[in-house]
Structure 1
Amino acid sequence: MRVTSNPTIVDLSTSFKAYDVRGIVGESITAEIVEAVGAAYVDVLQLEGQTILVGGDMRPSSPEFSKAFAQGAAVRGANVELLGLISTDELYFASGFLNLAGAVFTASHNPAEYNGIKMTRAGAVPISSETGLRDIQQLAEQYLMSGVIPAAGRRGEIGTRDVLKDYAEYLRGLVDLSGSRPLKVVVDAGNGMAGLTTPAVLGDALLPKLPFTVIPLYFELDGSFPNHPANPLEPENLRDLQAAVVNHGADIGLAFDGDADRCFVVDEKGQPVSPSAITGMVARREIARAQEQDEKVPTVVHNLLCSRAVLELVEHDGGRAVRTRVGHSFIKTVMAEEGAVFGGEHSAHFYFRDFWNADTGMLAAMHVLAALSEQDAPLSELGQEYEPYVSSGELNSEVADKVASIERVRTDFAYDDVAIDTLDGSTFTANDGSYWFNLRPSNTEPFLRLNVEATDRSTMERIRDRVLSIVRG
Structure 2
Amino acid sequence: MKAVIMAGGQGTRLRPLTSEQPKPMIPVVNVPCMEHIVNLLKRHGFEKVVATLEYMPEVIRGHFGDGSRWGVEMEYSVEEEPLGTAGSVKYVEGRLGERFVVVSGDALTDVDLGAVVRFHEERGAEVTLVLKKVDDPSEFGIVVVGDDGRVERFLEKPDEGEVFSYTANTGIYVVEPGVLEEIPAGQEYDWSKELFPKLLDEGRPVYGYVMEDPSYWEDIGNIEQYMDAQRAVLDGEVRA
Under a length normalisation based on structure 2, what TM-score does the superposition of the two structures give?
A: 0.39
Q: TM-score, normalised by structure 1?
A: 0.23
Structure showing greater radius of gyration is: 1
Query: Taking CA–CA contacts closer than 8 Å with sequence separation of 6 or more, which of the two structures ends up with the larger relative contact order?
Result: 2
* Bigger share in strand: 2
